[in-house]
Structure 1
């Protein structure tokens, strides 16, 4: 496990970080600075017609703050887009993610694998594509040169890890932090639906996806650059 590095986790919605929550907890425990970007406000994250978008947004931001504290995330950056709109706003999303990378200067970027088959949510695919491209090209001086006028220099990201992948080539054993992962997931109380907690909902889904019980404690990634930065 790396130590004393900066890791940027880029997701579409508050609660998406659950997929790599055990890894985030391990990174924080090893004195790495973990910063999370959330592209949307979670404003459509309710099935209750009596809860307004502004109300669920406020709820989910509070839940995300609680989750960040549990996982050891040092900062949460909200990009402010509405749920379900990342694809149609991809140009703006891309500029914002480039800008965050140049501000934070991460050693590692973690995001969705945008090439996963059968993911029905365009927000997941879009933030994955944007994150991969931004991590690859944020060192290019003529990509958004206006950032330099704001004091932001191009930045090279040495490594990118993608979760929610069909083609993993790297796995993290999170058995020692799995209880933290579940506690953090449980903080997303508004997302539990028919389950007692969101953590229970996620765990039930996870059990259906793995072949062996011990695989529950493995978080799998596609490591893109094959650098020596190993989670």
Structure 2
């Protein structure tokens, strides 16, 4: 199915491992839904300080470059608020702390839908290896959505600080194999690519990357009678 017949979530939270993951994974969908009235939030779980093959740049310098790149990209998409956690690229491990960070921001932003990496795939739907940080982040986000953010007995120190439990009705996983939900992003594909352009440290040939991204989005769309499209696995938690 596509989302066209559905009511869009009004508050959207994206949980991504690195700077640029959100734009690659769901940038067209978030840009589209923001323009239809949704409010979007980004939680980026690492500073991306290892995201380069270039010699002569330090991790510290790369982190300083990538934060403003990510903030600029989020602004292009229309994100209302963004947090980058002080964690290092390549060192994200699933556990109480990372999951607790996601729970904290779910309870703070109180989204109707969470988007994140599919943690179940080592090789994802587009044929790429699913980075270990992606798997850790996706697992933390999935478990934060259910059951941890909704229970007052989980992370009670957050409740003591004044945060309240929150139930997220919908979860969307990008890179899913197989997906079961497609969003037509024909009207927002240019916004997605403009946001990706902000990540200049990541692309030696932006035009080649743009062509690759367009072709992939077009291929996904054509398979489902759409123009350009992004694909997800969608999980709903609404009670009957």
Counterpart of 1:220? 231
Deviates more, 1:213-222 or 1:20-29: 213-222
TM-score where L is the length of structure 2:
0.86
Following superposition, the deviation at residue 213 of structure 1 comes to: 7.3
Q: What TM-score do you get using the length of structure 1 for normalisation? A: 0.89
Instruction: Measure how far apart 1:208 and its partner are.
Output: 6.2
- Aligned pairs, how many? 224
CA distance in 2, matches of 1:203, 1:171: 21
1:132 is the counterpart of 2:142 = yes
Distance 1:131 1:165 in 2: 15
Contact 2:220 2:228 in 1 (8 A): no
Matches within 5 A, 1:1-231: 2=7, 5-17=10-22, 18-87=24-93, 90-118=95-123, 119-137=129-147, 138-193=149-204, 195=205, 197=206, 200-201=208-209, 203-204=211-212, 207=215, 211=219, 214=222, 217-225=228-236, 227=238
**Gaps in structure 2 of 5+ consecutive residues:** 1-5, 124-128
Contact 2:16 2:117 in 1 (8 A): yes
SS at match of 1:68: helix
CA contact (8 A) 2:31 2:188 kept: yes
SS in 2 for 1:99: helix
Q: CA deviation at 1:2?
A: 4.0
Residue 167 of structure 1 deviates from its aligned partner by 1.5
Residue in structure 1 matched with residue 126 of structure 2 by the alignment: none
**TM-superposed deviation, 1:211:** 5.0
Whether the 8 Å contact between 1:14 and 1:38 is mirrored in structure 2 is yes
Query: Given that residues 9 and 37 in structure 1 are in contact (C-alpha distance below 8 angstroms), is that contact kept between their aligned partners in structure 2?
Result: yes
With 202-211 and 168-177 compared, the bigger mean Cα shift is at 202-211
Distance in 1 of aligned mates of 2:37 and 2:108 = 20
Does the CA-based 8 Å contact 2:9-2:38 persist in structure 1?
yes
Question: What is the distance in 2 between the residues matched to 1:170 and 1:203?
Answer: 24
Displacement of 1:105 after TM fit? Answer: 0.7
Unaligned runs of 5+ in 1: none
Q: Flag as ranges the 4+ runs of structure 1 deviating above 6 A.
A: none
